[in-house]
Amino acid sequence: MSSDQPAAPPTGRKKPVNLTLTATVTIATPSPSSSSGPSDSAASTITSSSGAFASGAAASESIDASAKLNDDGAELDASQRKKLLEFVQRKRAIAELRNDDFTDIVELGSGSSGVVQRVLHQPTGQVMARKLIYLEIKPTVRSQIIRELEVLHSCKSPYIVGYFGSFLADSSATICICMEYMNAGSLDLVLKQAGRLPEPIVAKITQSVLRGLVYLRQINCLHRDVKPSNILVNLDGECKLCDFGVSGQLIDSMADSFVGTRSYMAPERLNGEEYSILSDIWSLGLSLIEVSTGRYPIPEPDSRDYTSVFSSDRQQNLLDHREAAVQGKPLKGMSDSQTGPTQMAIFELLSYIVYQQPPKLPSFAFSEQFCEFVDCCLRKDTKERTRLAGLQELEFPRMYDSDEAISLGSYLRALLKTPLK
């Protein structure tokens, strides 16, 4: 089945949602005549257990070339190139990652699969974020995951979190992944301080996420887990993707415990159908509604939920968005629904995603451009869902570029007062 083929509509009894997630992944590949990266039509297919990434010398060459470009093919600016070079130099100073060489500083977050800590690498004095993943799997599978993660060393993009390396903690079932430390945290943590993010800041984040997804396409990789907790920011105003799906074995091993991940999956993926970059685009749409309202959008909020935190007047809301973005002011977020995902059984939630209409942003609370962008992401029929190139052409991601008062870094510094420890 083509990745653009929509799921067959249910007839009679509803088709049960597939919870095994053994779908086929479609990775777009560039056509010979294209100079701007992979097209949406040309595609090669691999299974999800194989890991979606380029390999060997060709992969390294393509990654090095793409690292010089941003989403529209222009050169990265001097600051971006300098930061990439500095990160590479810091990595070279690390001969080998060993568990005994780390000192824990503070826990940054935790979940069903493990914990993320801010740590100090004692031999180099480098501060890192270390993710500890606990998996009860065979030693051979753990070793394969470590090998698959090695491709992350080749990723060089200002929109992808830097990777120092991975190792197994002693002989335990713990996989340690060491990454660049982003001192403002993930968007789900920022939301705890912000309530909800103002539209101009969401536009800045959207622009960076799109560029990160474009980069991953250039190296023939899907993210497969786009959600607020996997979008990281720092006080310099950088926004980067983390935890993307280079390791098929890791994804397969963690799928059963990742209820949060499944909540952001596209309908075709939950149905066990073939999926592509369009699945990441769906996840982006859900994430944007969540960060702009302060609440996961399934089941869809009603008008009373929105009027509890937004004015009924669009112009007033747009003024409030800009004021909060410029001043770093928190905004009241929507409270969790009494029938939301925390109250719904996982099967009930996933069935809702597959069979109910996708959520939309109300036109009175946001700009037409933002509403259009989210609508283009959240179309259940993959034939109608807008491709990555089409999203880049929409006005919303660049809508506030000319407003010099809008800065992601300034907003975060004002909002958080001090870096997250």
d(CA 242, CA 142): 20
Candidates 71, 225, 243, 320; catalytic one: 225
Task: Give buried/exposed letters for 115-134 (b at 16+ CB in 10 A, else e).
Answer: ebbbbbbeeeebebbbbbbe
225 is annotated as an active-site residue: yes
Look at residues 71, 38, 60, 384 and name the one whose alpha carbon lies nearest to residue 222. 38
CB 22, CB 45: distance < 8 Å:
no
Three-state SS letters, 126-141: EEEEEEEEECCCCHHH
3-state helix, strand, coil in the chain (%, to 5): 40, 15, 45
Establish how many alpha carbons lie within 13 A of residue 249's alpha carbon, considering only the half-sphere containing its beta carbon.
Answer: 16
Task: Give buried/exposed letters for 158-177 (b at 16+ CB in 10 A, else e).
Answer: bbbbbbbbbbbbeeeebbbb
Phi/psi of residue 79, nearest 5 degrees: -65, -40
Q: Show the CA angle centred on residue 93, arms to residues 129 and 115, nearest 5°.
A: 15
For residue 363, give the amino acid letter: S
83 has binding-site annotation: no
Helix (H/G/I), strand (E/B), else coil: 121: strand
CB 185, CB 249: distance < 8 Å:
no
CB 242, CB 201: distance < 8 Å:
no
Distance, CA of 331 to chain centre? 23
Establish how many alpha carbons lie within 13 A of residue 210's alpha carbon, considering only the half-sphere containing its beta carbon.
Answer: 26
Look up residue 281 and give its two tokens. 């685009």
Look at residues 306, 300, 301, 305 and name the one whose alpha carbon lies nearest to residue 358. 300
The DSSP letter of residue 55 is -
d(CA 132, CA 286): 27
Active-site residues: which are they?
225
Annotated binding site: 131
Annotated binding site for ATP: 131
